[in-house]
Amino acid sequence: MLEIGTMAPGFTLTADDGRAVSLSDFLGRKVVLYFYPKADTPGCTKQACALRDAYGDIDAGDAVVIGVSPDAPAELVKFREKYELPFVLLSDPDHRVAEAYGAWGEKKMYGKAYAGILRSHFGVDEEGRLAEVSVNVKPLTTADLALRMVSL
């Protein structure tokens, strides 16, 4: 489990627009990093739209939002455009970044266990250190956590 105050695991992933995005690109700004299982599913849509609706306040707090899922970039483009999401979505198809953050693990549905994304929220401060760590969050919780983080 990652601990508050430690350096956030670095990464470079492909964004919905095809460019390579690294966590280090955002040094000097707060980062709201969230992991979600699958684009355009009910819970993930609620989570993304709550962040979209709070984005003005998050941006005013000099923070950026980054969403990460195993979806392919083409699926992320559709999701971002459909819901007019003003933040970057990153593709983590081999879930290596999710694993580094502890956002990949055992889930259960209908009595069957399987491995997948654990809906999670991480706050990264301007120096690249973890300011918040929340795994297994509810879809609407991420926006509240993001707003709390930008007020710190």
45 in any annotated domain: yes
Could you read off the pLDDT of 30-56 as tens digits, one per residue? Answer: 999 999 999 999 999 999 999 999 999
Half-sphere exposure of 85 (CA within 13 A, CB side): 28
Number of domains in the chain: 1
Span between the terminal Cα atoms of the chain, in Å: 23
- What is the pLDDT, as a whole number, of residue 113? 86
Catalytic residue list: 44
H or E segment and range at residue 69: strand 63-69
5 in any annotated domain: no
> Which residues does the chain have with pLDDT short of 50?
none
Q: Which letter does DSSP use for residue 143 in this model?
A: H
132 in any annotated domain: yes
4 in any annotated domain: no
- What is the pLDDT, as a whole number, of residue 152? 66
The pTM of the full predicted model, rounded to 2 decimals, is 0.94
1 in any annotated domain: no
Which CATH number covers residue 51? Answer: 3.40.30.10
